[in-house]
Amino acid sequence: MPDDASAPTEQPPRPPGTFKVGTIDGSDILVTSSWFLIAGLIAVMMSPRVEEVQPGLGAFKYVAGLAFAVVLYLSVLLHEVSHAMVAKRFGFPVRSITLHFLGGMTAIDGEARRPREEFWIAVVGPLTSIAVGLAALGLWFATPEGLLRMAVEGLAGANLVVGVLNLVPGLPLDGGRVLKAGVWSLTGNRLRGVVAAAWGGRATALLVVLWPVAAEQVFGTPPTVVDFMLAFVIGLFLWNGATQELASAKLRSRLPALVARDLARRTLSVPGDLPLAEAIRRAQEAGAGSIVTVTSDGRPVGVVNEAALLATPEERRPWVAVSTVARSVDEGLTLPATIHGEELVRAIGRTPASEYLLMEEDGHIYGVLATTDVERAFRQA
């Protein structure tokens, strides 16, 4: 079951087809509808083994298989919780943990700041699975024969396989993040680490797709249609995951060019009751590209919305107060003038708006940042 310990940095709505089943340390535990499909498949695939170990169960053999699927995914949840705990230890919020068709995903807000953070957040998952597998293997020797021993045996084998496979050095597997951390540490360049790990993921995807044919040569057992289908699904998952990581890294490489102070528009401060036409005249004389309404003591209360201003007919502007086309400076619309890069993009994502007020540390207005200017700078980068 491939695992992905990363996630986008903003908090999107809950994806369709997911169900919240609980919360652990403030993080939602979600289950996708695809999980019910794989749980049913596990129940059906386990039923012959259950019948062999405990004959005469009838339809209850499927219930036993379903119970094993639940226990197996609880160990996957433990794998993901370990990612979340280490991420929180490094100061990263964790929005949710999702169990899906091929395993699990931990949605962590933010990117690792240093290679060691990337390494520990990634490696703890496979180590947890291996530890669970070894513990179950030890318990197997003390468990009497029967359904319980069969479940412990399956739990041991599955967790050892998950732990070892997740250490394969290719994104989006945990081993790919370990490789990324290593290359990042050696070169000092995060992007090089992502590129190396992403190509490792693509190579792994191709090997997975070819595995059924290779297995026939090694073990002499002809592959079935199910073997080819499973190899294709897992290979496609790995290839798409690696490709997305590569594209995301290239986009992130452009973010350092986004410096709010450099993109800010010169601002004119005016009282809110000033006629709009007069405010525009003063801004043109001052060469200002934005207008901010302030109180009598100079405290900013609103930022003129460019779209609203342009939508106001010229003949009405002498009779309309500038405050009528200004958006209140609510929480999230005031940003430090020093903000830049990924932090700037995340701030805009948290509170979408067309303009933001940039403030100096001493409380003075520096300028106004327009979202259109940020988008233009990003494209040019």
- Mean pLDDT of all residues in 50-73: 82
Residue 2 pLDDT: 45
> Binning pLDDT at 50, 70 and 90, where does residue 3 land?
low
> Binning pLDDT at 50, 70 and 90, where does residue 77 land?
very high
| Rounded Cα gap, residues 292 and 366, in angstroms | 11
Tokens 């989006």 label which residue? 172
| Rounded Cα gap, residues 109 and 84, in angstroms | 11
Average pLDDT, the chain: 86
For 296, which DSSP code?
A: T
Cβ atoms within 10 Å, residue 200? 22
Reading the block at residue 338, the tokens are 């020093």
The CATH class given to the 260-380 domain equals: alpha beta
Residue 13 pLDDT: 56
pLDDT over 70 at 1, yes or no: no
pLDDT over 80 at 119, yes or no: yes
What lies within 8 Å, CB to CB, of 310 at 6+ separation is none
What lies within 8 Å, CB to CB, of 381 at 6+ separation is 254, 257, 258
What residue spans of the chain are helical by DSSP H?
33-53, 60-89, 115-140, 147-165, 174-187, 190-219, 225-252, 260-263, 276-286, 306-311, 341-350, 371-380
Is 295 exposed, middle or buried (CB count within 10 Å of its CB: 0-12, 13-18, 19+)? exposed
Residue 378 pLDDT: 80
Q: At what angle do helices 115-140 and 174-187 cross, to 10 degrees?
A: 150
Q: SS3 for 267?
A: strand
Q: What is the pLDDT of residues 178-215, one digit of tens each?
A: 999 999 999 998 889 999 999 999 999 999 998 888 87
> Binning pLDDT at 50, 70 and 90, where does residue 8 land?
very low
Residue 178 pLDDT: 95
Tokens 């999230």 label which residue? 332
pLDDT over 90 at 164, yes or no: yes
Q: Are 124 and 80 in contact (CB under 8 A)?
A: no
Per residue, the 3-state secondary structure of 322-338, as one string, reads HHHHEEECCCCCEEECC
Reading the block at residue 367, the tokens are 């300028």
> Binning pLDDT at 50, 70 and 90, where does residue 104 land?
confident
Query: Cis bond leading into 126, ω under 30°?
Result: no
Q: What is the pLDDT of residues 293-342, one digit of tens each?
A: 999 888 899 999 888 888 999 999 999 999 999 988 888 889 999 998 87
- Mean pLDDT of all residues in 372-380: 83
Please give the distance of CA 140 from its chain centroid, rounded to a whole number.
37
Tokens 């940003």 label which residue? 335
Q: Are 291 and 370 in contact (CB under 8 A)?
A: no
- Mean pLDDT of all residues in 157-169: 91
Reading the block at residue 297, the tokens are 């003591």
> Binning pLDDT at 50, 70 and 90, where does residue 16 land?
low
What are the domain boundaries of the chain?
Answer: 1-167, 169-253, 260-380
Does pTM surpass 0.75?
no
Most confident of the ranges 5-14, 81-90, 336-345: 81-90
Q: How much of the chain, in percent, has pLDDT values that exceed 90?
A: 34
Q: What is the pLDDT of residues 201-254, one digit of tens each?
A: 999 999 999 888 887 777 777 878 877 888 888 889 889 988 988 887 777 777
In order, the DSSP letters of 37-77 are HHHHHHHHHHHHHHHHHSTT-TTHHHHHHHHHHHHHHHHHH
pLDDT over 80 at 6, yes or no: no
| Rounded Cα gap, residues 138 and 151, in angstroms | 13
Q: At what angle do helices 60-89 and 33-53 cross, to 10 degrees?
A: 130
| Rounded Cα gap, residues 193 and 179, in angstroms | 7
End-to-end, the C-alpha distance of the chain in Å comes to: 38
Residue 148 pLDDT: 83
- Mean pLDDT of all residues in 265-282: 92
| Rounded Cα gap, residues 9 and 14, in angstroms | 14
